Structures are given as structure tokens and as C-alpha cells.
Amino acid sequence: MSTLADIQGVGLGLKRELMPQIQNLYPNPSVTNINFVEIAPENWIGAGGKAEHDLAWFTERYPIACHGLCLSLGGPDPLNINFLKQVKTFLATYKIPLYTEHLSYCSDIQHGKAGYLYDLLPIPFTEEAVHYVAKRIRQTQDILGQRIAVENTSYYVTAPISTLDEITFLNAVLVEADCNLHLDINNIYVNSINFGFDAHAFLHKIPKERIVYSHIAGHYQEAPDLLVDTHGEDIIDPVWKLLEEAYQLFGTFPTLLERDTNIPPLPELMTEINKITALQASFR
């Protein structure tokens, strides 16, 4: 049985394009710095055939982290309990110790019916929303029988009705839900540019004791003041600096490289993986 302590070092998001490359190179030293892999339960629950076969291959060789996309913690429709139960079974079947989700929503209610939009939408930062989301995180943790971590999400629109800033909202939710934090370094940077706040000041207000996991990625610059979190480019220097600063402030924590679009061959991605490994080593 994997435990949370097995998720450590550096990980890679398990995209279909990358799987055969990892399988071909394993256990070659060139890929040894991949310490764990991450999957989205929405892509794997109930999938048979090659998907099931490949997942078995990876679970036999790597600790797995689950990073969800569709739980819709901030959604206006009721939490999908059936789906949560499927997630619970999935985590147990594959002995997955970590489940994280986004501090966002991906569902709505139109014409009296609930429905998914399959993307990460920004929750307005209000007191009411803090209580609402915290309650749903608690409900999730009760059903799963384990703590989850929530991720600070990238966004492009601040709701005009927001009364709090992002870090205040994030911290209020973490405390009220008593859950862990999945710290996304790139998202801090993206949001700081999109909304003109100081990324370093944001980082300094992160509750160290709640960090269990982190993401780092590249993004797309649509305009000088608009970055889109595509996970489709190399990580840029200011984001590397932010990761370094985070390790300095909080000590190292497991860090996963996300690359979802425009995926280069694995050896190229290994350059970034190896760089994270080296950075972590310099703080040990």
C-alpha cells in the first residue's frame, strides 16, 4: 500500500503520448528522476482495454497521485456523490494515497438541470462562497474517509461581486475545511500577471503546514497582461524563481511537472524534471 509519504521528489503528469515513452525507457537512468506519476480519475475510472492494462503497468512501478478535474467543489449543483464513491473505489483499487482537486467549479444548472462544462471556472471570492466550498470539501473528505488537497487555480476573470482577494479566500477555505493545500506555482505567477498582484507576497502568506503537493508548468502569453494556463510551453524563469523561493520558505515538497499540450519528446521534458530534482537537492 502506498502512503502519502511515497509521493515525494518529482513527478510527471501521465499523458497518453508520454506513456509509451516512459514504458520504453524504464528503468533507464535517464528517467530515474521521475519519482511518481499523476493521473486524472476522470480519464481512468471504469476504462478497460489498453488503458486498464497501462494503468496496471504504472501502478506496479510508480506511486500514483490523483488530481481531479470534475468534482466541481465550487459548483452550484449538488456534489456528485455517485462519482465521489467511484473515486473512493478507484483510489482503493489502485492504492492511490493522494487525491487533490481544484478550488473552482465545472458544472452549473440551466433550465432546472445540472450539467458539466468540463473546465475550471473561477469561484467568486466572497464570504458566502468560503462557507459553501469549505462545507463541500468537508463533505468530500467525510465520504472519502481521507483528507484531500485543494489547488489554487488559475483564472482570467475576477467576479465583480468578489469581496476578498485570492489569498484571503484560499486561506479562509483551507482553515474552514481543514484540508491540505496543493500549491500550484505557475498559477500564482499567471494570476499575479493577470491581476497585477505581487506573487512573492502571495507566496509568503501560504500556510506551510498545509502544503502536501505542488505543480509547476509553462503557460501561454496571450498579451503582456494576460497569461493563459495552457501547460503547453517550457517553464519560464520567473516561475522557476518562485519555486526556488517556495522551497526556501517552506522546505521542499513533492512537485509535479504538468505538460498537457504541445508535448515534446520525453528526453526534453526530462531536462525540466532533472532541474526540479537538482533544485530540491540543493535545499536538503
Partner 1 sequence: MLDFQRYQLEFTAHIRSPKTAKKPMKVPDARMGVYSEIVFNNIYNSVSACFPVCRTILSKSAWLKLTRQFFALHQATTPLFREIPQEFLKFITSVADLPIYFQQLAHYEWVELAVSLQTVITPKLSKKTDLLNENPILAPANMLLEYDYPVHKISAEFKPKKKESTYLLVFRNTDFEVRFIELNPMTFQLLRLIQESKMTGEQALISLAEQIPHSETHAVIAFGLEILQNLIEQGALIGSVKNTN
Residues that bind partner 1 (CB under 8 A): 42-43, 45-53, 70-72, 74-76, 80, 83, 105, 108-111, 113-119, 121, 123-124, 126, 128-129, 132, 156-157, 159-161, 222-223, 226, 228
Least distance CB 122 / partner 1 (angstroms):
8
Instruction: Return d(Cα 38, Cα 110) in angstroms, integer.
Output: 33
CB neighbour burial string for 249-267, b if at least 16 within 10 angstroms, e if fewer: ebebbbbbbbbeeebeebe
Rank residues 13 and 74 by Cβ distance to partner 1 and give the closer one.
74
Cα–Cα distance list, 180 to 37, 44, 54, 87, 138 (Å)? 19, 24, 29, 18, 11
Rank residues 178 and 225 by Cβ distance to partner 1 and give the closer one.
225
Least distance CB 215 / partner 1 (angstroms):
18
Residue 20 in contact with residue 47, Cβ under 8 Å?
A: no
Instruction: Return d(Cα 14, Cα 257) in angstroms, integer.
Output: 10
C-alpha radius of gyration, the chain, whole number: 18
Rank residues 62 and 155 by Cβ distance to partner 1 and give the closer one.
155
Residue 235 in contact with residue 218, Cβ under 8 Å?
A: yes
Rank residues 189 and 253 by Cβ distance to partner 1 and give the closer one.
189
- The count of other CB atoms within 10 Å of the CB of residue 1 is 6
Rank residues 144 and 228 by Cβ distance to partner 1 and give the closer one.
228
Least distance CB 48 / partner 1 (angstroms):
3
Rank residues 71 and 270 by Cβ distance to partner 1 and give the closer one.
71
E-strand ranges in the chain read 10-13, 36-39, 64-67, 98-102, 105-110, 113-121, 149-151, 180-184, 211-217, 220-223, 226-228, 255-258
Least distance CB 241 / partner 1 (angstroms):
26
Least distance CB 175 / partner 1 (angstroms):
19
Least distance CB 224 / partner 1 (angstroms):
13
